[in-house]
Structure 1
Amino acid sequence: MSIYEKIRLLAKEKKISIAELERTLNFGNSTIRKWEHQSPSVDRLQKVADYFNVSISTLINENNIHYSKEQECIEELSQFILLKTHGLAEETQAYLIEDFKDYLEFKSDKVRSEEK
Structure 2
Amino acid sequence: MFYKKLQQLAKKKGKSFAQIEKDLGLAKNSMYNYKTKKPTADRLNAIAEYFDVSVDYLLGRQDELKHKDDLSEEESELIGAFRMEREDMTPDEQVKFNAAVKDLMKYAKERLNDDSIWKK
Who is 1:97 aligned against? none
CA contact (8 A) 1:59 1:66 kept: no
Amino acid paired to 1:19? A
Cross-structure match for 1:38 = 37
Corresponding position of 2:46: 47
Which one-letter code corresponds to 1:36 in the other structure?
K
Distance 1:9 1:65 in 2: 13
Task: Give the whole-Å Cα distance in 2 for the aligned partners of 1:32 and 1:19.
Answer: 8
Q: What residue number does 2:56 align with?
A: 57
**Max Rg structure:** 1
**What residue in structure 2 maps to residue 101 of structure 1?**
none
Shift of 1:14: 0.7
- Aligned-residue offset at 1:61: 2.1
Query: Equivalent residues in 2 for 1:76-87 (5 A)?
Result: none
TM-score normalised per structure 2: 0.54
AA aligned opposite 1:33: Y
Q: Which runs of 4+ in 1 moved over 4 A?
A: 70-73
- 1:10 & 1:48 partners in 2: Cα distance? 10
Q: Give the length in aligned residue pairs.
A: 72
TM-score (norm: length of structure 1):
0.55
